Amino acid sequence: MNTALLAGRTVLVTGAGGGVGEGIALACATHGANIVIAARRTETGDPVAAEIVRRGGHAISVRCDVTLRADVEAAVAAAIDTYGGLDTMVHNALAHVGPPREIEDVPDDSWRSMMHTALRASYHCAQAAFAQLRARGGNLILITSAAGVEGSPYIPAYGVVKAAQRGLAKSLAREWGPLGIRVNCIGPVAMTPAMKISAEKSPVFTDGLLIGRTPLRRIGDPEPDIGPVAVFLASDLSRYVTGQTIMVDGGGFTAF
């Protein structure tokens, strides 16, 4: 008997070419899942798939711009063609959020790219995966943020799109629960490539403010800290959990 939590299941992760998406993909692979790495650039996605294979797992890499419905549908089709179906869709991809700004100073292209990569892509991912998730009792996981609950004083557009994703997840949990589909969110804080850039530019924020409010006193590591929570949500361990947001942030955000 294979006791791996995700043995025989297929997990598609968007934005899996680095950061949180990569960590989730690696963690799910460790627990036996077949992985579809969906990344906008194959230069970042291919090495992650190769690493999973090197470790003895199963993974493919597909080029996927999540703002394009056809790309997301093609990624789901690749999961079906390669592994026979899709059990879990993880939408993690997000455009670069940019530097702190007052709302009046946020460039149009920054607002739109966040709206499209976070929210429109959630719509794409949910609809593209729906038939598979319904057929297999699967689940949808959206990567959101504490900013989607408490608002962001620095990047207001980020808070808006992350909150909207939570509203969508709660609604789909109610709508799709009777069909056997679970929908949840993860709100991570992790040392991603984007976070590293922020840390270099603004150590006061990362080393001071962010770690200062985090009881565990460190920024999370995508694979060992964030990934296991995605494994939990993708597995039967969470079979009675839906419509929830799990903050995986070292305790930084504690209020609900």
Catalytic residues: 145, 158, 162
For another protein, give the closer residue by CB, 11 or 118.
Answer: 118
Binding status of residue 28 toward another protein by CB under 8 A? no
The only residue of 77, 103, 197, 204 in contact with another protein, by rule CB under 8 A: 103
* 7 DSSP assignment: T
Q: Which 173-212 residues touch another protein, going by CB under 8 A?
A: 173-176
If we measure between CA atoms, which residue out of 228, 109, 118 comes closest to residue 165? 118
Binding status of residue 253 toward another protein by CB under 8 A? no
User: Shortest approach of another protein to residue 5 CB, angstroms?
Assistant: 27
The only residue of 166, 188, 228, 246 in contact with another protein, by rule CB under 8 A: 166
Joined tokens for residue 228: 């296991």
Residue 22, number of CB atoms within 10 A of its CB? 27
Residue 202, number of CB atoms within 10 A of its CB? 16
Q: Which 118-157 residues touch another protein, going by CB under 8 A?
A: 119-120, 123, 126-127, 130, 147-153, 156-157
The only residue of 74, 115, 199, 211 in contact with another protein, by rule CB under 8 A: 115
The torsion defined by the Cα of 229, 139, 9 and 55, in degrees rounded to 10, comes to: -30
Cα–Cα distances (Å) from 129 to 43, 85, 108, 147, 159, in that order, read: 25, 10, 30, 26, 25
Q: Which position has the token pair 């993880």?
A: 90
Residues in the site for another protein, rule: CB under 8 A? 69, 102-104, 106, 108, 111, 115, 119-120, 123, 126-127, 130, 147-153, 156-157, 159-176, 243, 256
